[in-house]
Structure 1
Amino acid sequence: MQQVDIAIVGAGPVGLSFARSLAGSGLSLALIEQQPRQSLAEPAFDGREIALTHASRQLLEQLGLWARFAPEDIAPLKQAKVMNGGSPFALDFAPPSDGGELGWLVPNQRIREAAWDAVAGQAGLRLVDGASVTGLHREGAITHLALGGGEPTVSARLVVAADSRFSAVRRLLGIGARTRDFGKTMLVCRMSHEFPHHGAAWEWFGHGRTMALLPLQGNRAGAVLTLAPARVAELLAMDEDDFGAAVSECFEYRLGHMRQEGSRHAYPLVGVYADRFCAPGAALIGDAAVGMHPVTAHGFNFGLQGQAWLARGILEAVSAGRDFAAAPVLSAYDRAHRRATRPLYEATHAIAGLYTDDRLPARLLRDAALRVASKVAPFRQAIAAHLTQRERGSGFSRFSPR
């Protein structure tokens, strides 16, 4: 049996960031992950480009991750456009008045690499790789985690689940979740194109499909197509020439001819919101707590900021000599993360419902909504500030790993 202060289940970027947040705290950590160590150290490209807000960049800088990104892996997001069907009209979110960026795009692969590099060799951290949690039971103030693969039991004062929106630990803890299967599949792939994107991200609600374009360095972009699973299967089966032609047609050749760069990847589109973010001696972070629809590109941002709230509560308790796994610490995290995520989660589902409804009344309503919003500058500015989290940048100014 291994005894630690905190067991973190899931070594994705949020779980790794949480471990990094506790560096220097004096707490012993066990990081439990199904993948082998080599896959963590050298993560494969998965097609996902992560949009980072100003608040998230600040956290990544404080955690020592941002400095590990190569300049060519950071793409500035200068503006954003929301479009409806074949209409030439678009709701534009222009660059900030100070000339800065709305945000930045960084490949998920690079975030995972940087997070692993930051915790590799961290004092007090033990990796249990190639293992999954098969059961748990609580005995007094200690939770015992049974692991598959012949690994010994891990016992901890606090268990933190960061094991995806389909979290096994969440279920073992008896925490329910509101799950919405959108019945769609998201296909992602990098594409090169003829015409410049000018640093603009597109969210394009077409008939029977939703598309996004994420601007990368040069005339390159991450293409995101949300379609019926059967149509995604057809696209995955195409050769590169036919695939490039199909994606170019989807985007109506607005960036000219597009060609595939790298591999294609498909993911089921499922949203998740846990009924609770904590239980006695346990907490949920990342997608285990909130699995967002990608339309607002806020999934990782919420995960990163949620782990920071939890880590801050733990560090403050340790500094004051209090029990870091006590109910008040975990409940405070639950309340803070729920306040930060619930409004946008619900709004995202409402938007997704309206903008994926292809009936004529819905098409007319969303076009009218975009046109009205475009004429109200304070409304656009408020949305832009919320999505970029520029106003929250100072909220984590005192947070940093020790």
Structure 2
Amino acid sequence: MQAEQQPQVLIIGAGPAGLSMAAALADAGFASTVLEQAPLAQIADPAEDGREIALTHRGMAVLQQLGAWQDLPPEQISPLRRAHVFDGSEPRFLGFEPGEPDAAGQLGALVPNHWLRRIAYQGALRRAGLIQLRCEARMRSLSLQADAASVTLESGETLRAPLLIAADSRFSNARRLAGIGAEMRDFGRGVIVCRMAHEEKDHEATALECFHYGHTMAWLPLNGRQSSLVLTMDSQPLQEMLAWDEARFTAWVQEQSLGQLGKLQLIGPRHHYPLVATYAHRFAAQRFALIGDAAVGMHPVTAHGYNFGLYGVQTLAGLLKGAADPGDAALLQRYAAEHRRATWPIYQGTNAVVKLFTDERPGARLLRRGVLALAGRLPPLKAAISAQLTGKPWRPPLPKLPSLPDLPFFKRPLNRP
């Protein structure tokens, strides 16, 4: 993949956010060089990692605009029509459905993470004239000057461009070297993700979020009678569970699932990830911008992490389109402000939900039941939450006004000359 001209943008990280950013910038007319420390084989043919990404309507729209959505095989797209939230073993649940009827009648869709990485690479390949991908390129240092940003590689080579974008994970080295701190929230918990088959009951494209005491089980509906289990618990018992054989693990999951999906069978490997959320103190600096997890790394409970990356790509590329200087300070600050407005409330709200629903004290248990009951009885609140889940705009309903003929003014006779 060779660029035909000197890059106007340097991008650190060839994950789905970094490559999508390069594609969006190419569509806006900017040439970029993407620097990635992993070998090309890992980028071109990413391995299955167990993660299923819930995409909002806006997230899917961004992928469609980039032409990436069209690269997904239909069997890799699982519709998400409803979500049910349970507290402990309570049979009652708080349900969410699309706020407004749409063609698909969906909250969103689920796509394997490794497929999102694959289509991002394919999109970059299609724009090879404006995108250069350099793998096994390790950054030693960076410099942000008034007229350009520069990156020095471990090989000693230095690259310069008017704008440098960091997309190198929530533990971003580029962010640190640029002097930007981040709020880090280590939840002291981890996640096991795996696929389970359930022959007896159909999930009906419904996600289940079960806040049990001591652990959380999320069931994400996949095509066929399969679901992705996202099991969250404290790190110490989780480490012990990772050593269990498949039979013991499946028996435990079967018991904890309370029969919601019938008899279960483990049909793939188990993957483990630590839970750490991050939020950068700033999203932009001189000749520098953050996107993806380098800007906002989310707890997975509300499934917004990857969507926020796509929102950032859309916002930044839209602001830079037509700009004479992609590193223009005013445009970068506008991006930072808009991306903060889009992410900060959901980031804080997600962390508050996690804190409440993982607190095992009696008072917290009572409060969380009250929160679920209140949300269920207030349709506007449910509609607002559903809008956040889908990424679709929501406005509070206006009070119903009487029709014009019933107003007193219209009942008065007109004064004619």
2:29–2:321 Cα contact (<8 Å) kept? no
- State TM-score, norm by structure 1: 0.93
Aligned AA for 1:191? M
Aligned AA for 1:123? G
Task: For 1:2-401, list aligned pairs within 5 A.
Answer: 4-96=7-99, 98=101, 100-121=105-126, 122-148=128-154, 150=155, 152-194=157-199, 195-317=201-323, 322-391=324-393
Distance change (3 Å), C-alpha of 1:249 and 1:312 = same
2:80–2:107 Cα contact (<8 Å) kept? yes
Aligned AA for 1:233? Q
Greater mean alpha carbon deviation, residues 86-95 or residues 74-83: 86-95
Aligned AA for 2:165? V
Distance 1:141 1:262 in 2: 51
How many angstroms does 1:151 deviate by?
Answer: 6.2
Aligned AA for 2:254? S
- State TM-score, norm by structure 2: 0.89
List alignment gaps of at least 5 residues for structure 1: 393-402
SS of equivalent residue, structure 1 residue 316: coil
Note the aligned Cα RMSD (angstroms). Answer: 1.6
Distance 1:220 1:226 in 2: 19
Deviations 1:55-76 (A, max 9, x none): 1111111100111111111110
Aligned AA for 1:164? S
SS of equivalent residue, structure 1 residue 14: helix
How many angstroms does 1:252 deviate by?
Answer: 2.1
SS of equivalent residue, structure 2 residue 162: strand
SS of equivalent residue, structure 2 residue 277: strand
Q: Which aligned runs of 4 or more in structure 1 are off by greater than 6 angstroms?
A: none
Greater mean alpha carbon deviation, residues 245-254 or residues 112-121: 245-254
List alignment gaps of at least 5 residues for structure 2: 395-417
How many angstroms does 1:190 deviate by?
Answer: 1.1
SS of equivalent residue, structure 2 residue 30: coil
Aligned AA for 1:347? G
Distance 2:243 2:177 in 1: 38
Deviations 1:161-195 (A, max 9, x none): 00000000000000011111000011111111131
**Higher Cα Rg, which structure:** 2
How many angstroms does 1:147 deviate by?
Answer: 1.6
Distance 1:138 1:359 in 2: 48
SS of equivalent residue, structure 1 residue 8: strand
How many angstroms does 1:95 deviate by?
Answer: 4.5
Structure 2 counterpart of 1:398: none
How many angstroms does 1:196 deviate by?
Answer: 1.1
Number of equivalences:
386
How many angstroms does 1:294 deviate by?
Answer: 0.9
Distance 2:352 2:130 in 1: 44
Distance 1:203 1:19 in 2: 35
Structure 2 counterpart of 1:397: none
1:4–1:154 Cα contact (<8 Å) kept? no
2:87–2:210 Cα contact (<8 Å) kept? yes
Deviations 1:274-331 (A, max 9, x none): 00000100000001000111111000111101111111111131xxxx3220110100
Aligned AA for 2:151? L
1:24–1:123 Cα contact (<8 Å) kept? no
1:244–1:257 Cα contact (<8 Å) kept? no
Aligned AA for 2:236? A
Identical-residue share of aligned pairs (%): 46
Deviations 1:178-227 (A, max 9, x none): 11100001111111113111111111111111221110001101100111
1:241–1:259 Cα contact (<8 Å) kept? no
Distance 2:392 2:144 in 1: 41
How many angstroms does 1:140 deviate by?
Answer: 4.1
Greater mean alpha carbon deviation, residues 180-189 or residues 86-95: 86-95
Aligned AA for 2:341? R
2:142–2:152 Cα contact (<8 Å) kept? yes
2:278–2:296 Cα contact (<8 Å) kept? yes
How many angstroms does 1:139 deviate by?
Answer: 4.2
Deviations 1:242-281 (A, max 9, x none): 2221222222232122222222111110110100000100
SS of equivalent residue, structure 1 residue 333: helix
Distance 1:63 1:4 in 2: 20
